[in-house]
Structure 1
């Protein structure tokens, strides 16, 4: 091969290498996903019940759900929820006590109470906190939670549910924080929930909290975050949480979850104690 050919071949190789370099994709990192907006809340409650009085729960804050049809609330529950009955709902010594009792009433074998703030205190967004101690005993199912006031998107679960504290006695060292929507619920096997093991949930008070904003719902136990659910922006089937909700405080007996391992009749009467419930308003930035 003469020098002329070798020179041309060398130049062609250099040209190919140069073209190859120019055609490479630049090493540009992927953009960071947008971070959700962080919200703040008022430093003092905008609504609360400190239970610093005696007798029945405050009529200005609380009403009652009762079940005259004894339909088990759709969960095969065994209790009859009474209204304004001190044996089932009493405030004393700075604490609200909800008590489930084994006794015949209204055709059922247990009584209990289900307090609701519906129509008296309804909320759209905020920080919701409760300090509570749950009862031991297989078959108990206490909860502090929230339901929609107007059911604008239809019946459960389409209009949503927020569980700030949920507990079942057969798993007594574990507490749960959850949400339910049409897209995400336990019936469909898509429920969004988080659990935390607490060795003394039934003997000591703990603080349970949910921060509800237009963009996310986050759950905490003793200020430790364990739950987060984001607004996907896909509509009410995933996020019905743009309407007013209200508090519920109750103890159910048995039921599809609470009674999964049966009901220990010796565990009753069973009481949940609530030191306070507080709402801190969302601050619009």
Structure 2
């Protein structure tokens, strides 16, 4: 038995030596998330979600006890871009009934190939929709889904005990949305920290749960050449957010809030 354990340790050590840590966040400073690493989305952003994403507001995003806490709250919050009779839903709402935060690395740090892992504990209240995901840096110049999207982890309360992983892209040569994904069942999403990750190279994206691979997608599905959004030189930025309701989050229970999405650390490696 001793020799078997030694062999296993050597194999793990050899695998670890394949990677070099190039970026990490261990949330060791209390207060605001480190502004050299994180910025914020602001307002009503997507999916008809109910929350207003607050910018640099401690009630919704703070570091405490060595962890990033993203908190969704039931509270009335004015919409600064409200316009009477506006056609766009983001402007037509006079106020929000919920607030939350979307903490992102856009403009500060981006990733292209390698391994990315996030240690997190998920909220459980009805209507929550926490996510760990990535968008292509060219989002805006190249609209979604042509910019590409990697959903490392998504959870919705109406699918209890289940976490989802997905890549989004345009059908090659078109602007038609395509996706590849699936889910796994986990019974301790809300009581324990788990590590959600991806290993990404020019051929595949492999999804990881607690360090173990559980699903691989072939990137040729998004195009065989260099124009594939997951192969382009433009990298992807990371997003950590807690949505409420919306097209997939469904109707929340107001009495279940506040809800907290806790992140212990974030790490990124590249192949040596």
Given the two structures, how large is their TM-score scaled by the length of structure 2?
Answer: 0.81
Distance (whole Å) between structure 1 residues aligned to residue 226 and residue 49 of structure 2: 29
How many residues are matched?
Answer: 237
Kindly indicate which of the two structures has a greater share of residues assigned to strand: 2
1:234 maps to what in 2?
224
User: 1:171–1:48: structure 2 CA closer, same or farther, 3 Å change rule?
Assistant: same
- SS of equivalent residue, structure 1 residue 46: strand
Equivalent residue for 2:53, pick from 81, 103, 118: 81
Residue of structure 2 in register with 1:134 after alignment: 122
Whether the 8 Å CA contact 2:170–2:177 is kept in 1: the answer is: no
C-alpha distance in 2, partners of 1:129/1:88?
23
CA distance in 1 between counterparts of 2:33 and 2:235 reads: 22
Cα 1:194–1:43 shift into 2, 3 Å: same
Structure 1: stretches of 5+ with no match in the other structure: 1-38
Distance 1:280 1:115 in 2: 20
Unpaired runs of at least 5, structure 2: 1-14, 79-94
**Change over 3 Å in CA distance of 1:152–1:218 after alignment to 2:** farther
Partner of 1:193: 181
Q: Tell me the SS of whatever aligns to 1:256.
A: helix
Q: Which of structure 1's runs of 4+ aligned residues deviate more than 6 A?
A: none
Distance change in 2, residues 1:237/1:183 (3 Å): farther
**Alpha-carbon spacing, 1:41–1:179, altered in 2? closer, same or farther (3 Å):** farther
Q: Please say if 1:251 is aligned against 2:242.
A: yes
The equivalent of 2:85 in structure 1 is: none
Does the 8 A contact of 2:202 with 2:230 survive in 1? no
**Is 1:171 aligned to 2:159, yes or no?**
yes
Contact 1:82-1:113 at 8 Å conserved across structures: yes
Q: How does 1:40-51 map to 2 (within 5 A)?
A: 43-51=19-27
For 1:1-285, list aligned pairs within 5 A. Answer: 43-67=19-43, 70=44, 73-106=45-78, 107-151=95-139, 154-183=142-171, 190-232=178-220, 234-235=224-225, 239-242=229-232, 243-259=234-250, 262-283=251-272
Q: Residues 217-238 of structure 1: CA distance to partner in whole angstroms, max 9, x if unpaired?
A: 1101112322211122524776
Structure with larger Rg? 1
Q: Is the 8 A contact 1:41 1:127 kept in 2?
A: no
Is contact 1:210-1:220 (8 Å) kept? Answer: yes
1:190 CA drift (Å): 4.4
- After TM superposition, give the deviation of residue 239 of structure 1 in Å: 4.7
Measure, in 1, the Cα distance between the counterparts of 2:164 and 2:191. Answer: 17
CA offset at residue 137 of structure 1? 1.3
TM-score (norm 1): 0.77
Residues in 2 aligned to 1:230 and 1:95: alpha-carbon distance in whole angstroms: 34
Question: Compared with structure 1, are the counterparts of its residues 253 and 234 closer, same or farther at alpha carbon in structure 2 (3 Å cutoff)?
Answer: same
The CA RMSD measured in Å over matched residues stands at 2.2
Determine the C-alpha separation between the residues in 1 that align with 2:188 and 2:51. Answer: 26
Deviation at 1:44, TM superposition (A): 4.4
Deviation at 1:74, TM superposition (A): 3.3
Q: Is the 8 A contact 1:181 1:237 kept in 2?
A: no
